[in-house]
Amino acid sequence: MVHRWGRPPLSCRPCREKKRRCDRNQPCSNCNLRKIQCEYGLCERPRASPARTVSSSGKSTTLSTPPGAVLNAEEVLNRLNNLEQAVFNRPSQASPRFGIEKTIARVGQGFSPSDFTPFGLHILSPSPDDASLDLRYLASQLPPVGQARELFNHFALTLHQTFGVLHIPSARDLVEQAYESMLARGEPDVAQLLLLFSIFAGSAFAWNAQLLEKLSTTQAEAQAAFKAYTHLATSILDSYHSLPSSTTALAAISTLAHVITNCDGFPLKIHLIRMRCLLMARAMQIHRLDTAKSREERKHKGCNLIEIEVQRRVWWNMVAFDWLHAFSGGPQEGAYIHQPKHMNVDYPSNVDDEFITPTEVHSLPLSTPTTMSAFIERVKLSEICREVVDAMPSILLESQPEYHVILALDEKFQNYLDDLPVFLRLDRNSIRKSYAICSERPNIIWQRIGINFSVHTRICRLHMPYHLEGMTNQKYAYSHRICVQSAQTVLELRRLMDDAETAVKPTRSWTVTQHSFLAALILATDVSFNPNSPDAEARKAKVLAAYRTLEKSKEESSGLVEVIQRNMQTLMSTLHRQHSQRTNVSYAASEETVANGQSSGNSRDPITSMASIPVSADEWLQGYSLMSTEKVGDENVAQLWSDFLAAAPELGAPQWNSLLDNMDFCFDPSVS
């Protein structure tokens, strides 16, 4: 073997390492295609091939690139753009990699417009699992500035209508400033990145046909972008534990918490994020925002009133969520974190964002519609829910309060409905009076539906323990009547959500689906106990319509399907246990019957079928689940309804109340 140590290699280092055929250009075709840095050693760089031209005198002239010449950033980016156009038939479709970033870092400090990852590309380049991400990589995953503007505008028109924390003009300016800073200096701010990813995740979550058309993308790409932006935002919180406290960071965490509350992929993360928001707010002394001492300090030192308003919104959004969910079902039922005696924060001003300046804020009467009207009414409703939790006995006592307490709490809800501004009321006269307002402000329609949906859901929960007993006991007749009426209202409002131009598709909302399911069960149990009532058929139709509507959720979220299906299985399993107890048919005897090949009962009776074939009980429940992965036709739904009505009377009122109280509306962390 002869070693020629003096002969320098002619191929580039990446091609030698990967044993590829190198064309010895600078950069070579292999490195150019893979968008990696093409490196030749100091003694390895091939000389540029001379180009010969013929002058007018007939003499040949040799033109060559000077040895050691380095391409500038503009030439590198132009070549990258040309390659992207040739491969993807549209510019800037390849996600940036660290190789090109290192090349740019040598010759310039800022980003180029082509360094950002387009909205639709996240389906091809998922985010890494490693949470320890540097800021430059995180910034490279943002969409180009043109798409960022479209996503922000879509967020402001859709999801922010149910949120209301951000000051939209200031947030829009922050988006522009963040991109200008990255393009000029390449130094992204971590709090700004967190806010941008949270906003863009919310916009992708609330995608509609108009957004897809504007971005020339698809539903699958929007869903992939939502997952990518959410993952990147949560990775920032995981990686940067010492995130500096600021109004921007506080608004960013609050936005992210709102976005993923209804997402089925973060069952535990949401609680950690909300606790992070609370800890930062306390560190910033937001809970003392409007004490006499704080007001005096602001008067002497000065302040930005826009930031003060955003801080009030963040605080009350956090508190309202806590108090509303303390009376909303689930494991957090009956408990809350925020103690009203431990805070001194005024309500946010009832004024449109455009009229809030750093030096001046003029709050309008609550009878005047603004972008903050529904936000303030939601806070007032949450205070009633806190009063309900305080008035109820401790969950450890497992006893019902005196009935006069229930009636007093109901009166608070009824007074709340009566005191709503005319443009948020549901009666026909109020709707007619507010027609002009709704024409000018279409978001009022969605806010009216959302506020009343939340109120009547809580009224159902308040009277649910008494609504069946009220059918036979005149003392509780009011609870039976008002519970059924509110359940019907909830299902009617759910139908209106599909008809109205709502901010977010209700089939994607976990909270909407949870409350709709409970209202449908209340009506179903009521009809099963009173099948001959004059309006029984109408109620059957409402429940059937509600079940068909709930079935549509499987097109938007597999998590919603799994949870509702689990509740239906719990329902039918309870019916099965009651039937077994009443007929004294033990599980062992049923197993022996199946083993002997004997048949018992009518095969069309679901309860009898389950008792006689215990081995396939799970399959039976799967088949009878309204959230089955198979499409449920009208005939199957009607059969299920008939079976349900036939089986439901086997339960007494106490068993029904216990069953409805223990409906599991929580995601299983092991599943997700």
What is the DSSP annotation of 207-274?
--HHHHHHHT--HHHHHHHHHHHHHHHHHHHHH-TTPPP-HHHHHHHHHHHHHHTT-TT-TTHHHHHH
Cα separations in angstroms, 594 against 572, 608, 612, 620, 622: 20, 12, 6, 15, 20
Residue 47 in domain: no
pLDDT at residue 605 greater than cutoff 80? no
| The predicted structure's pLDDT at residue 334 | 84
| The predicted structure's pLDDT at residue 295 | 94
Residue type, 103: T
Question: For residue 430, what pLDDT band results from cuts at 50, 70 and 90?
Answer: very high
Alpha-carbon distance of 251 to 163, in angstroms, equals 11
32-41, 126-135, 255-264, 441-450: which is most confident: 441-450
Long-range contacts of 141-144 (CB under 8 A, 24+ apart): 141/95, 141/116, 141/117, 141/228, 141/232, 142/116, 142/117, 142/179, 142/193, 142/196, 142/197, 142/200, 143/116, 143/117, 143/118, 143/119, 143/200, 144/92, 144/113, 144/114, 144/116, 144/118
Question: For residue 593, what pLDDT band results from cuts at 50, 70 and 90?
Answer: very low
Instruction: Dump strand ranges (E) for 480-590.
Output: none
pLDDT at residue 174 greater than cutoff 80? yes
**Angle CA 588–593–596, to nearest 5:** 125
Are residues 129 and 29 part of one domain? no
Helix axes 558-583, 634-647, angle to 10 degrees: 40
Are residues 24 and 127 part of one domain? no
Peptide bond into 531 cis (omega under 30): no
Instruction: Provide the 8-state DSSP code for 354.
Output: G
Name the residue with higher pLDDT: 244 or 666. 244
Handedness of CA 630, 631, 633, 637 (dihedral sign): positive
Structure tokens at 376: 């303030």
- Residues in a beta bridge with 63: 51
Q: What percent of the chain has pLDDT over 70?
A: 65
Structure tokens at 639: 């059969």
Alpha-carbon distance of 116 to 122, in angstroms, equals 11
Question: For residue 280, what pLDDT band results from cuts at 50, 70 and 90?
Answer: very high
Question: For residue 110, what pLDDT band results from cuts at 50, 70 and 90?
Answer: confident
Are residues 129 and 17 part of one domain? no
Residue 440 in domain: yes
Within 8 A by CB and 6+ apart from 492, the residues are 542
Instruction: Provide the 8-state DSSP code for 8.
Output: P
Are residues 270 and 132 part of one domain? yes
Are residues 446 and 571 part of one domain? yes
Residue 522 in domain: yes
Average pLDDT rounded to a whole number, residues 427-437: 92
The mean-pLDDT minimum among 226-235, 422-431, 493-502, 658-667 falls in 658-667
360-416 per-position pLDDT tens digit: 998 999 999 999 999 999 999 999 999 999 998 765 556 678 899 999 999 999 999
Within 8 A by CB and 6+ apart from 610, the residues are 572, 576, 617, 620
Q: Are 215 and 150 in contact (CB under 8 A)?
A: yes
pLDDT at residue 444 greater than cutoff 80? yes
| The predicted structure's pLDDT at residue 127 | 56
Alpha-carbon distance of 587 to 604, in angstroms, equals 20
Residue 480 in domain: yes
Phi-psi region at 502: left, alpha or beta (left = phi > 0; alpha = psi -120 to 50) = beta
Are residues 562 and 446 part of one domain? yes
The mean-pLDDT minimum among 194-208, 331-345, 586-600 falls in 586-600
Question: For residue 503, what pLDDT band results from cuts at 50, 70 and 90?
Answer: low
Name the domain boundary from 284, 318, 347: 284
Alpha-carbon distance of 78 to 84, in angstroms, equals 10
Residue type, 374: A
Residue 103 in domain: no
Are residues 570 and 423 part of one domain? yes
Q: Are strands 51-54 and 60-63 parallel, antiparallel or unpaired?
A: antiparallel
Instruction: Provide the 8-state DSSP code for 174.
Output: H
341 burial level (CB within 10 Å; 0-12, 13-18, 19+): exposed
Alpha-carbon distance of 382 to 250, in angstroms, equals 21
Alpha-carbon distance of 372 to 504, in angstroms, equals 18
Secondary structure class of 336 (helix, strand, coil): coil
Residue 585 in domain: no
Are residues 417 and 539 part of one domain? yes
Instruction: Provide the 8-state DSSP code for 207.
Output: -
Long-range contacts of 273-277 (CB under 8 A, 24+ apart): 273/234, 273/237, 274/318, 274/321, 276/237, 277/250, 277/253, 277/314, 277/318
Average pLDDT score, the chain: 75
Residue 374 in domain: no
pLDDT at residue 610 greater than cutoff 50? no
Alpha-carbon distance of 200 to 221, in angstroms, equals 13
| The predicted structure's pLDDT at residue 324 | 93
Q: How many domains does the chain have?
A: 3
Q: Are 186 and 136 in contact (CB under 8 A)?
A: yes
Question: For residue 501, what pLDDT band results from cuts at 50, 70 and 90?
Answer: low
5-9, 468-472, 548-552, 578-582: which is most confident: 468-472
Alpha-carbon distance of 402 to 327, in angstroms, equals 18
Q: Are 338 and 319 in contact (CB under 8 A)?
A: yes
Cα separations in angstroms, 515 against 49, 268, 469, 491, 511: 73, 21, 22, 9, 6
- Residues in a beta bridge with 62: 52
How many angstroms from the chain centroid is the CA of residue 578?
A: 38
| The predicted structure's pLDDT at residue 443 | 86
Are residues 132 and 24 part of one domain? no
Average pLDDT rounded to a whole number, residues 31-44: 73
| The predicted structure's pLDDT at residue 566 | 56
pLDDT at residue 624 greater than cutoff 70? no
Alpha-carbon distance of 432 to 402, in angstroms, equals 40
Nearest Cα to 372, choosing from 357, 350, 400, 339? Answer: 350
Range of the domain at 146: 122-284
Residue type, 8: P
Q: Which residues of 614-653 are buried (b: 16+ CB within 10 A; e: fewer)?
A: beebeebbbebbbbbeeebeeeebeebbebbeebbebbeb
Cα separations in angstroms, 453 against 27, 84, 487, 505, 511: 62, 49, 10, 15, 11
Name the domain boundary from 226, 250, 284: 284
Element of type H or E holding 519: helix 510-529
| The predicted structure's pLDDT at residue 523 | 80
Are residues 150 and 23 part of one domain? no
Q: What percent of the chain has pLDDT over 90?
A: 36
* Residue bearing tokens 């995740």: 201
Name the domain boundary from 284, 307, 340: 284
Residue 454 in domain: yes
Alpha-carbon distance of 101 to 135, in angstroms, equals 12
| The predicted structure's pLDDT at residue 659 | 54
Question: For residue 82, what pLDDT band results from cuts at 50, 70 and 90?
Answer: low
Question: For residue 660, what pLDDT band results from cuts at 50, 70 and 90?
Answer: low
| The predicted structure's pLDDT at residue 513 | 76
Average pLDDT rounded to a whole number, residues 475-484: 92
Alpha-carbon distance of 249 to 229, in angstroms, equals 16
| The predicted structure's pLDDT at residue 653 | 53
Q: Are 369 and 444 in contact (CB under 8 A)?
A: yes
Are residues 128 and 26 part of one domain? no
| The predicted structure's pLDDT at residue 6 | 53
Nearest Cα to 162, choosing from 608, 628, 506, 410? Answer: 506
Calculate the dihedral angle through the C-alpha atoms of 354, 355, 357, 360, rounding to the nearest 10 degrees: -170
Are residues 660 and 532 part of one domain? yes
Average pLDDT rounded to a whole number, residues 586-590: 41
